[in-house]
Structure 1
């Protein structure tokens, strides 16, 4: 194994570990603490490229997630992947009316310092509250003979 391969492997393991730690904390988070976050959704903003950034928060010493012009499936992919990128093949939309998911949205979340380690969990909960008709999950799928984590977006069953 080359040094670069080893480095890439170690980086991937570290990123997976961070996501798993955040996912495990999902059920142990104090939801009332989320009221201290500033967040919001908006529709497509012209003049902005489709992008995702994590920056220092303007309102406190915490962190800020800012997303411009992404589809709902892409927003879920950001939240479930804890900021890690998924390819188009790894985002699977399995809904009755996929044309309803063509719209682009913007999202911003400002977290205080003590909630920065769960900001993607908070983002996922905001998505679930804002778009209750859908549900998303990480699933292992085989694509091109390779098994990988994929984000699967489905209609929520009534």
Structure 2
């Protein structure tokens, strides 16, 4: 008499797998900790690997794009705020230099030289900020994200 299969899993595909030394023992330990059979643990891990490598859905992609855009806009606004503040400082240094221009007292010369140094430092900061703003806009463009720099600049006028 032919023996009947008692379980549906007896009909499932079977695969012989070669494992490195110690892997079977590690899998048995993890399976026990997860209250699974060794087979169930292997199948669960394989299934998980497929889920991790599945392409993301369109809705997940749009959420990721929205977050990236928000992060880039925040970065750009922060850079523009710093730029605006530094531009204000530059105008202040230039006004101080102009005010001290005709003053021939030794203290005025010293103060003018300090203001000149501050102006130079401010110009360097503005240059670095300009470069960071360009880099942020370039990064956005490479990711297909549109940032309206001119509209953002209007907030400071």
Same fold by TM (over 0.5)?
A: no
TM score, norm. by length of structure 2: 0.25
Structure number with higher relative contact order (C-alpha < 8 Å, ≥ 6 residues apart): 1
Q: In terms of Rg, which structure is larger?
A: 2
Higher helix share: 2
Higher strand share: 1
